[in-house]
Amino acid sequence: MALIGGPIVRTEHVSDTVNKIFLDNGDEIILVGTAHVSQNSVEEVRAVIEAEQPDHICLELDKGRYESKTKEQSYSNMNLTKVFREGKTFLVLANTALASFQKKMGTQTGSAPGEEIIGASKIADELGIPYSFCDREIAITLKRAWAKSNLWNKAKLIGTLLSSAFDKEEFKPEELEELKKSDTLQEMMNELAKELPGAKEALIDERDRFLATNIMTAPGHKKVAVIGAGHANGIIKTVEKLEKKELSTDLSSIAQAPKPSKAGKIAQWIVPIALIAIIIGVGFAHGFNESLRYFLIWAGTNAATTVLFSILSNAHPLNWLVAAISAPIAVLNPAIGVGVVTGIAEATLRKPTVRDFESLSDEISSVKGWFKNKVLHAFMIFFTTSIGSIIGTFVLFPIMLKVF
């Protein structure tokens, strides 16, 4: 057992998974790093809590994730139209992909993801020890990562999440053992951070700070914190900074999703303004009729590519008409979004059943599932028609510019 640190914070490395932090005021924090999918983690959490008898237990969970793990909650309560209108498509898909990934891990390792943290709350109830949720909502973390990413990185973010869900490869015995020693949620966050360096702050650094601050400020002089193994080093470093007053305990700046920036709001109007400017320019150079002709060619091309992509993704035939009408209008008014319109239309024309909602995490991992499951199919229509409209918008720009 090695003691490390200066006069303010001392740390004791008890084992590969347990670290103790001694603060200058006499408080003690015991960090128990878990793998989230290992039965050994469940047993170790119980052993540490029973041996230490802490005043308080801190859990690496937010209230929403805790309730989703302990209560029978159904996706059937989801309002799909509201999801599209409020721009939550990515968040729902991200949560579904994460659930699918963790379910796969749990199936192959024999332990349900997060079981050790739920177990810690049950032990706390048994022993009459108060506990609190110390993590930030996963939706806020993903929203903040999304906001820090450009268009290309956003595509990579979606791709990375979905590839984890689509991965059908079975793990080798030695790989399973490594998985049992790691934090699966944090492993996914680390993968995302590698692909998206700009989002690393939201995915890793901010979460470490959020967890460390809530653990430090939780009541009691002796606290056990049940965390993912990947957070231990980050939490220890953050506690040291908090003790030295290098960081504030005020989390308000990272506790909520960022508001859209003024620059972002202005940027979304660049394409429609440029398009209108080109059409007007054609009118000045060649007359109104030529200007109208080019506008109709552009609108027709945009509608055609959007309809083509809706057909390829097996949208409802009536949705082809919706796509054709809404695509040019949506380009000229970014507040609408053709994907939102066609997504809502698909969900209305082919109303999802309870089974569709409840099988999301299973069917997201196959191409067939995206066509079969009506919720996933509506999401697919959202993406494909958006891509079709983008292609239709830009394909004629070079041709139109040659007119001048």
The H or E element spanning position 255 is none
pLDDT value for 7: 45
| Tokens at 176, concatenated | 């399973």
Are residue 141 and residue 7 in the same domain, yes or no? Answer: yes
Distance, in Å, from the CA atom of 105 to the CA atom of 119, rounded to the nearest integer, reads: 18
| Across 70-84, 132-146, 185-199, 268-282, least confident range | 185-199
DSSP conformation class of 37: S
Under the banding of pLDDT at 50, 70 and 90, the label for residue 1 is very low
pLDDT of residue 102: 67
Tell me the pLDDT band of 5, cut-offs 50, 70 and 90. Answer: very low
pLDDT of residue 169: 60
Instruction: Specify whether the CB–CB gap between 182 and 35 falls below 8 A.
Output: yes
Q: What is the pLDDT of residue 27?
A: 93
Residue in the block written with tokens 């809502």 = 344
Point out the domain boundary residue: 235, 256, 277: 256
Q: Which of 104, 112, 138 is nearest to 42 (CA)?
A: 112
Same domain for 194 and 272? no
Task: With residue 350 as reference, give the H or E element that holds it.
Answer: none
Whether residue 292 is found in the same domain as residue 348: yes
DSSP characters over 196-209: -GGGHIIIIIHHHH
User: 225 and 205 in one domain?
Assistant: yes
Looking at the fold, whether 96 and 224 belong to one and the same domain comes out as yes
Average pLDDT, the chain: 81
- Same domain, yes or no: 15 and 85: yes
pLDDT reported for residue 71: 63
Mean local confidence (pLDDT), 169-194: 57
Look at 146 and 186; give whichever has higher pLDDT: 146
The residue among 256, 284, 314 that closes a domain is: 256
**The pLDDT of residue 111 is above 90:** no
Residue 202: pLDDT band (50, 70, 90) is: confident
Q: Quick one: tokens of 122?
A: 């049950």
In angstroms, rounded to a whole number, what is the distance separating the alpha carbons of residues 327 and 197? Answer: 33
Long-range contacts of 173-180 (CB under 8 A, 24+ apart): 176/108, 176/109, 179/35, 179/37, 179/38, 179/105, 179/108, 179/109, 180/35, 180/37, 180/38, 180/40, 180/41, 180/109
What is the reported pLDDT for 51? 93
Q: With pLDDT > 70 as the criterion, what percentage of the chain qualifies? A: 77
Q: Which comes out higher in pLDDT, residue 264 or 235?
A: 235
Q: Taking residues 359-365, what's their average pLDDT?
A: 81
Domain that holds residue 369: 264-401
148 contacts 199 by C-beta, under 8 angstroms = yes
Do 345 and 214 reside in the same domain of the chain?
A: no
Distance, in Å, from the CA atom of 374 to the CA atom of 283, rounded to the nearest integer, reads: 45
- Percent of the chain exceeding pLDDT 90 equals 35
Mean pLDDT for the stretch of residues 256-266 = 77
Confidence at residue 74, expressed as pLDDT on a 0 to 100 scale: 53
Between CA 254 and CA 95 the distance in angstroms is 20
pLDDT at residue number 17: 84
CA-closest candidate to residue 15, choices 44, 51, 35: 44
**Domain edge (last residue) among 209, 234, 256:** 256
Average pLDDT over residues 351-359: 86
For Cα atoms 200, 163, 59, give the angle at the middle one, nearest 5 degrees.
Answer: 50
The answer to whether 160 touches 191, Cβ cutoff 8 Å, is yes
Number of domains within the chain = 2
Enter the pTM of the model: 0.74
- What mean pLDDT is predicted for residues 139-155? 79
Assess contact for 152 and 90: CB atoms under 8 A.
no
pLDDT at 2: 45
Helix (H, G, I), strand (E, B) or coil at 121: helix
Is residue 350 pLDDT above 50, yes or no? yes
Please report which confidence band the pLDDT of residue 4 belongs to, taking 50, 70 and 90 as the band edges: very low
Whether 121 and 145 map to the same domain: the answer is yes
Give the residue-averaged pLDDT of 96-118. Answer: 68
pLDDT for 39 beyond 80:
no
270 and 206, same domain (yes or no):
no
Do 244 and 334 fall into the same domain?
no
Phi, psi of 64 (to 5 degrees): -65, -45
Do 100 and 124 fall within a single domain?
yes
Residues 6+ apart with CB under 8 A from 297: 396
- Among the listed residues 55, 258, 239, 237, the one whose alpha carbon sits nearest the alpha carbon of residue 148: 258
More confident residue, 101 or 318: 318
Tell which residue, 240, 277, 267, 226, has the closest CA to residue 400.
277
Cα dist from 353 to 72, 75, 350, 359, 367, whole Å:
18, 10, 9, 10, 19
Specify the higher pLDDT residue, 99 or 26: 26
Do residues 56 and 99 share a domain?
A: yes
